[in-house]
Amino acid sequence: MLVDAAKGGDVEIPVFCYEPKLGGPVGACRMCLVEVEGIPKLQTACSTPVRDGMVVFTGTDRVAEAQNAVVEFLLVNHPLDCPVCDKGGECPLQDIAMGWGPGKSRVTDPKRHFRKPVALSPLVRIDRERCILCYRCVRFSQEVAEDEQLQLLERGSQSYVGTFDDHPYIAPFHGNIIELCPVGALTSEAYRFRARPWDIAHSGSSCTRRPSQCNVKFTVRDERIQRVLARDNEAVDNGWLCDKGRFGFQMISAEDRVTAPKVGGSKVGWTAALEAIAERLRGAGERTAAVVGGQSSNEEAYLVQRILRQALGSAHVTSTDELDAGALAALSAPGLSAALTDVDQAESILVIGTDPMHSMPILDLRLRKAVRHGGARLVVASERPTALDGGAEETLRYAPGGAGELLRALVGQLNGGSDGGRTGSGVASSGTEGSGEGRGSGWRRGCEFWDRRLGRRPGVGCGKYRRVPGEYR
């Protein structure tokens, strides 16, 4: 588009609603109007594709008038909150008003008001008077995170951003709207009134809470991390962060954080603590068991199994993975490894035995993008419902522990298909609802398991995760 091409030529065209990460251009804010030779009306540069031989004017009087007009309109109802607004100093509206605005206000009439600020969620506050209705946040909710909880309500100059019935906006990625918002309408609860841009320093790093290692920027003041921002990395996070990564930093300086070991409720030194642990473990001996979680590092896992096998003589050590060692080793073969960017190009995607929302949230967003924009076909096979079910072409459910059986059946199919009845016996798919195929004992076991767990009426729910056909998930 013209806007991007202009950047390449060192020409800046101001924008508000244009954000390529959110999909196609919207053309709503009208800030990027430019003059294109041969077209009588001014065009929005964000939606005009570049063509060979195109002549574009960005600095003529006509364009300047349009830019002044749009800035003036944006400020008609915008409150003069800069002194108390967190965004001040790093605010695109301030910058664009300075660079492309008329400089003087002609408004003498009262502005429209909303109750402000209101808690949109435990982590985000919304100030609707400051909102310039650029739609970035609602587009994020619809088209990136796909939770569709944040919407535009009412019409015209009474429009405002909100949720259903003022319910809190609880969604795992909603913190991103703070960064998307070009004004101080959506602000972080944790960062409220903490610093001005000239007080802080930035420090680049990566988030360590999940395997994806999303790139982040720490905002530091007085040698404390005050906030976490995304540091756009195409290959990893696409510029998004999950809420755990964005707000989890607060634990570093939390008051109730455990910083020293305690035995029996009272603080002890490290030596005494380790002695106490060792004594108890020695007492249990080979009856000790250990389950190593996926967030442990390889070194930690190695040491745990060494303690159990060598020091205690116990063989009861495992991890949370459902697959046996052989399958795991086979899956880790270098030739099979894919990068996150491969997801964008994939034609079909099979998700097995995991819910990316929990194990690697940023992958969830990436998969949604692949399905929505890349046309990828998604199949989800897991023992419990995942957040991706709604957009999957097929969802396969198996009883807990049945992943191995599924994979064997799959391999059998791929190798020729005649598995004499083993294929699909323990597994049921939503696509075959109603037909006799695939509704084996595994299906029933799986459904009953979840009906009991979730307290649902039996026979209802499992496998009935409706896919909304057509364009929307």
Partner 1 sequence: MTGDFGQPEHLTRPTDELSAAERRELIASMRPEDAEGVPELHEVEIPAELREQIETAMSRYPQLRSASIPALWAVQRHHGWCSPEGIRQAAAVMGVTPAYLQSVASFYDLFATSPIGRHRVLVCHNISCWMNGADELLQAFCEASKTEIEDADHHGATSADGEFFVKGFECLGACDLAPMVSIDEHYYGPLEPGDALAAIEALRAGDEPLPEKALTKRRAAGGEVDRDPRVPADPPPHGGAEEASRP
Partner 2 sequence: MSGSETRLLFNHIDEPGLAGLETYERLGGYRALKRAFRELEPDELIGSFEESGLRGRGGAGFSMGKKGSFLPRGDMQKYVCCNADESEPGAFKDRELMMKNPHQLIEGCAIAALAVGAAYVFIFIRGEYWEIADVLDRAVAEAYEAGHLGGDIAGTGKRVELVVHRGAGAYICGEETALLDALEGKRGNPRLKPPFPAIQGLYGGPTLINNVETLSNLAHIVNNGAEWFKSFGSEQSPGTKVVSVSGCVQRPGNYEIELGIPAREIIFDLAGGPREGRRVKAWFPGGSSAPVLTEAELDLAYTFETLAEAGSMLGSGSIIVADDTVSIPELALRTARFYHHESCGKCTPCREGTNWTVKMLERVTRGEATPMDLDIIASVQENIIGYCLCVLGDSMAMPVAAMVTKFRDEFEDVAASGSRLDAPGFRRPGELDDSAIDRPLTTGAGV
Strands (E) located in 20-154: 33-36, 43-44, 56-57, 118-119, 124-126, 151-153
Q: Which residue has the tokens 């703070």?
A: 178
Q: Per rule CB under 8 A, is residue 155 in the interface with partner 1?
A: yes
What tokens does 363 get? 């992958």
Least distance to partner 1 from the beta carbon of 109, Å?
17
Binding of partner 1 by 168 (CB under 8 A): yes
Interface with partner 1 includes 455 (CB under 8 A)? no
Say which entry of partner 2, partner 1, none residue 457 contacts (CB below 5 to 8 A, set by partner kind). Answer: partner 1
Interaction between residue 471 and partner 2 (CB under 8 A): yes
- Taking CB under 8 A as the criterion, the residue among 267, 324, 331, 472 binding partner 1 is 472
70 binds partner 2 (CB under 8 A): yes
CB of 232 to partner 1, least distance (A): 27
Within 74-103, the residues that bind partner 2 by CB under 8 A are 74, 76-77
By the 8 A CB rule, do 427 and 398 touch?
A: yes
Taking each continuous run of H as one helix and of E as one strand, the counts in the chain are 14, 19
186 with 124: CB under 8 angstroms?
yes
Q: Which of left, alpha, beta for 193 (phi over 0: left; psi -120 to 50: alpha)?
A: left
- Provide DSSP, 242-272: -HHHHHGGGGGG-TT---S-EETTEE--HHH
Cα gap 301→307, rounded to integer Å:
10
- Contact residue for partner 1 among 78, 125, 227, 368 (CB under 8 A): 125
Q: Is 18 left (phi over 0), alpha (psi -120 to 50) or beta?
A: beta
- In angstroms and rounded to an integer, the radius of gyration of the C-alpha atoms of the chain is 27
Q: Using the rule CB under 8 A, is 118 a contact of partner 1?
A: yes
Least distance to partner 2, CB of residue 34, Å? 12
| Other residues' Cβ atoms within 10 Å of the Cβ of residue 357 | 17
Which helix (H) or strand (E) segment holds residue 216: the answer is strand 215-221
- Only one of the segments 41-49, 146-154, 259-267, 436-444 lies at the binding site for partner 1 (rule: CB under 8 A); that segment is 146-154
Instruction: Report if residue 460 touches partner 1, rule: CB under 8 A.
Output: yes
148 binds partner 1 (CB under 8 A): yes
Within 10 angstroms of residue 368's Cβ, the number of other Cβ atoms is: 22
- How many residues bind to partner 1 according to rule CB under 8 A? 42
Tell me: cis bond preceding 458? Omega within 30 of 0 counts: no
Segment interacting with partner 2 (CB under 8 A) among 19-27, 168-176, 371-379, 461-469? 19-27
Closest CA to 243 of 230, 233, 253: 230
Q: Indicate which of partner 2, partner 1, none lies near residue 165 (CB less than 5 to 8 Å, by partner kind).
A: partner 1
**Which of residues 153, 278, 328, 338 is near partner 1 by CB under 8 A?**
153
Identify the DSSP state of 309.
I
The entry of partner 2, partner 1, none near residue 31 (CB within 5 to 8 angstroms by kind) is partner 2
Shortest distance (Å) from residue 153 CB to partner 1: 4
- 348 has which bridge partners? 377
Does residue 117 interact with partner 1 by CB under 8 A? Answer: yes
**Which contiguous run of DSSP H or E holds residue 380?**
strand 377-382
C-beta of 33 vs 177, nearer to partner 1: 177
CB of 117 to partner 1, least distance (A): 6
Specify the DSSP element, H or E, that contains 377.
strand 377-382
- Considering the rule CB under 8 A, would residue 258 count as an interface residue with partner 1? no
CA gap 148, 31 in Å, rounded:
27
Q: Which residues in the 114-143 window bind partner 2 by CB under 8 A? A: 132-133, 135
Contact residues: partner 2, CB under 8 A: 25-31, 33, 41-42, 44, 47, 65-66, 69-70, 72-74, 76-77, 106-110, 112, 132-133, 135, 152, 154-159, 470-471
Contact residues: partner 1, CB under 8 A: 114-119, 121-122, 125, 147-155, 160, 162-171, 189, 390, 456-457, 460-461, 464, 466, 468-472
